[in-house]
């Protein structure tokens, strides 16, 4: 194993000699075996391919070291690791199963304390990489080396790429039989990461890209960035928690396992299959289960089991051209009264699933506290324990009635469906248990039905005083006589601007955004209903009961919303408020118009809680 004179310069004495001795010892542990040559080739017409022992080899891979027998049965041919500490046993196992391994060499991340401006740390990391290469370069299951994984940050630090290039150059000298790859988290703004690898890392043969929400457009973006060497999609799967919509309290919306299966297929077809001759294959994420944001977000298997979810069989079809004989359960519809809502403590709630599947389907519903922080890919992250006292037992009944937790906070309702034959499906719904207003902070008791606007006359309980957005473009006439639903008048609303957005909040007290006490106690109401029509039809308006902002002192204890495309005829619409704490509703009604591209005119009447 060649030594690096710079290590001797940077470190002196016995410590340096001991460190080098350990590195040499690591090389001395090199296993016996005959390497299988792997080459990156390019035709004169610029078609790239990977060959193994002289034969074309397209990577049908998965990240992880679990369920490898099923991976082979499904048509997979390779796995990847993120580090090399336990690569020896994994290479041996892969060899017995006919799989190859892309061995990852973990490089330090600056956000975890690694300093690429510290020569000592960089030299130690480089020497450790040399030891791994010496140990495993002759293993017949080795496919290639992956130098680092998402260590690059924003991609603009040349010191990171210098370290990557040094290690890749070392690998080329020590192991002529296996290509080098570096793995990055997406390609950066304007493709900066791909550009820097091309500019500063000539010893890198292949670019590995971990891509989730951006996977469908990855080939185009790589082309725009000028990347001319081949690439591998080293991680892909459902959009990450950082790429999806969130509730008002910050909980990410997770797609169910049936939706994820379709997403895996679409991303594979667009980022991998569509670029054959440039893309050398992929590693799907994750051929196991893990906790990241939730216990089910990225795992392709039910947590802690061998039961496969929809993405497993979808990848099997993409790899082998056929589905498993026994298909997993398909979620046709899952509904619950808590979905993405804020509910009252100890309130009665319901959930129901419509599932297609063979075998004797069993259903389990669980409530777990929810982590609303950004996705944390922490290997030690543990899922919050299920609230067993609130969890109905597993049964064959797809319907369930349950009680919301008594403590305020963020939660998720989880559904697990098993078919008893190795197949499963899963879904979850975030919800929030709000603290009830204290007796002194509750709103004024209201008698139902509680009318906010109508023809009955008298003073209205809420004032339409909270103008938002482009307030100058909002015109409201509460005594319009243009085709009222009944009686003599209706409320005419015009948003006259073609762009931007605008809206109005019905407030109590008027012009207050939560700094003063007030509002109404509307407990007992199950819905906000109203009549609406558009001037021409097709007008898109969002309506709300309450506002979701809990940062103010006197916030709404409940809220709900509904986006509606209006017709030119009067219709009654409802916002479901069942199970919510309505003890203090300071913002009784809200409308918002946004992004229409043209002025909007619509009419309202008979707005009431009932």
Sheet of 48-52, strand order = 38-42, 48-52, 55-56
| Structure confidence at residue 394 (pLDDT) | 73
How far is the CA of 128 from the CAs of 119, 148, 215, in angstroms?
14, 13, 33
pLDDT in tens, 544-597: 999 988 778 899 988 899 999 999 999 999 999 987 889 999 999 999 999 778
Cβ atoms of 148 and 107 within 8 Å: the answer is yes
pLDDT in tens, 218-232: 999 999 999 999 999
How far is the CA of 486 from the CAs of 425, 531, 537, 569, 572, in angstroms?
49, 11, 20, 13, 13
φ, ψ for residue 351 (rounded to 5)? Answer: -150, 150
Positive or negative torsion for Cα 118, 119, 124, 128? positive
pLDDT in tens, 89-139: 999 999 999 999 999 999 999 988 999 999 999 999 999 999 999 999 999
Burial 156-185 (b: 16+ CB within 10 A, else e): ebeebbebbbbbbebbbebbeebbbbbbbb
pLDDT in tens, 298-355: 999 999 999 999 999 999 999 999 999 999 999 999 999 999 998 888 889 999 999 9
| Structure confidence at residue 551 (pLDDT) | 79
- How many C-beta atoms surround the C-beta of residue 556 within 10 A? 28
- Asked whether residue 22 carries a pLDDT value surpassing 60, the answer given is no
Cβ atoms of 239 and 295 within 8 Å: the answer is no
Residue with tokens 């509703």: 585
**The model's pTM:** 0.73
How far is the CA of 565 from the CAs of 231, 246, 541, in angstroms?
44, 23, 6
DSSP state for residue 45 in the 8-state scheme: T
- Asked whether residue 7 carries a pLDDT value surpassing 80, the answer given is no
Sequence-distant contacts of 186-193: CB under 8 A, at least 24 apart: 186/210, 186/211, 186/214, 187/218, 187/221, 187/222, 187/225, 187/227, 188/154, 188/155, 189/154, 190/225, 191/221, 191/222, 191/224, 191/225, 191/226, 191/227, 192/154, 192/155, 192/156, 192/225, 193/152, 193/155
| Structure confidence at residue 26 (pLDDT) | 38
Cβ atoms of 39 and 51 within 8 Å: the answer is yes
């Amino acid at each position: 194993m060649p030594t690096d004179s710079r290590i001797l310069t940077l470190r002196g004495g016995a410590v340096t000699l001991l460190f080098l001795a350990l590195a040499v010892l690591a090389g001395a542990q090199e296993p016996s075996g005959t390497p299988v040559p792997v080459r990156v080739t390019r035709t004169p017409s610029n078609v790239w391919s990977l060959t193994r022992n002289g034969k074309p080899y397209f990577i049908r891979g998965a990240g992880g070291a679990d369920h490898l027998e099923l991976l082979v049965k499904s048509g997979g041919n390779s796995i990847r690791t993120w580090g090399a500490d336990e690569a020896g046993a994994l290479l041996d196992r892969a060899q017995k199963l006919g799989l190859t391994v892309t061995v990852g060499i973990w490089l330090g991340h600056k956000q975890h304390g690694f300093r690429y401006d510290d020569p000592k740390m960089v030299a130690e990391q480089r020497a450790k990489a040399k030891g791994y290469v010496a140990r495993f370069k002759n293993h017949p299951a080795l496919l290639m080396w992956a130098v680092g994984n998402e260590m690059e940050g924003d991609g603009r630090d040349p010191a990171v790429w210098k370290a990557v290039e040094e290690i890749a150059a070392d690998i080329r000298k020590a192991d002529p039989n296996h290509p080098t790859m570096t793995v990055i988290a997406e390609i950066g703004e304007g493709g900066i990461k791909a550009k820097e690898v091309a500019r500063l890392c000539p010893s890198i043969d292949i670019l590995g890209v971990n891509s989730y929400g951006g996977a469908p457009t990855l080939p185009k973006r790589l082309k725009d960035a000028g990347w001319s060497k081949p690439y591998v999609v080293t991680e892909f799967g459902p959009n990450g928690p950082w790429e999806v919509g969130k509730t008002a309290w910050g909980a990410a919306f997770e797609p169910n396992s049936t939706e994820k299966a379709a997403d895996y297929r679409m991303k594979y077809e667009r980022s991998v299959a569509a670029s054959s001759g440039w893309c050398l294959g992929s590693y799907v994420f994750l051929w196991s289960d893990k906790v990241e944001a939730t216990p089910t977000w990225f795992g392709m298997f039910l947590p802690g089991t061998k039961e496969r979810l929809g993405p497993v069989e979808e990848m099997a079809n993409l790899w082998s051209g056929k589905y498993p004989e026994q298909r997993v359960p398909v979620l046709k519809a899952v509904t619950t009264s808590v979905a993405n809502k804020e509910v009252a403590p100890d309130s009665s709630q319901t959930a129901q699933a419509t599932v297609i599947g063979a075998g004797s389907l069993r259903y389990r519903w669980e409530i777990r506290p929810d982590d609303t922080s950004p996705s944390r890919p922490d290997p030690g992250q543990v899922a919050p324990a299920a609230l067993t006292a609130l969890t109905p037992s597993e049964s064959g009944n797809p319907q369930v009635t349950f009680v919301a937790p008594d403590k305020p906070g963020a939660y998720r309702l989880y559904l697990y469906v098993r078919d008893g034959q190795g197949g499963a499906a899963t879904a979850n719904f975030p919800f929030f248990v709000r603290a009830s207003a204290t007796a002194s902070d509750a709103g004024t008791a209201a008698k139902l039905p509680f009318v906010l606007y109508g023809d009955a006359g008298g003073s209205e309980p809420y004032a339409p005083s909270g103008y938002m957005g482009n307030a100058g473009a909002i015109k409201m006439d509460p005594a319009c006589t243009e085709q009222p639903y009944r009686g003599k008048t209706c409320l005419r609303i015009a948003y006259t601007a073609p762009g931007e957005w605008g809206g109005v909040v019905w407030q109590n007290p008027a012009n207050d955004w939560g700094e003063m006490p007030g509002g109404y106690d509307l407990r007992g109401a199950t819905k906000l209903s109203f009549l609406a029509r558009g001037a021409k039809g097709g007008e898109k308006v969002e309506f709300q009961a309450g506002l979701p902002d809990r940062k103010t002192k006197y916030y709404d204890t409940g809220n709900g919303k509904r986006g509606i495309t209006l017709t030119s005829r009067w219709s009654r619409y409802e916002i479901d408020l069942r199970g919510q704490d309505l003890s203090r509703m300071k913002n009784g009604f809200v409308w918002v118009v946004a992004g229409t591209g043209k002025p909007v005119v619509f009419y309202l009447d008979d707005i009431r809680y009932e």
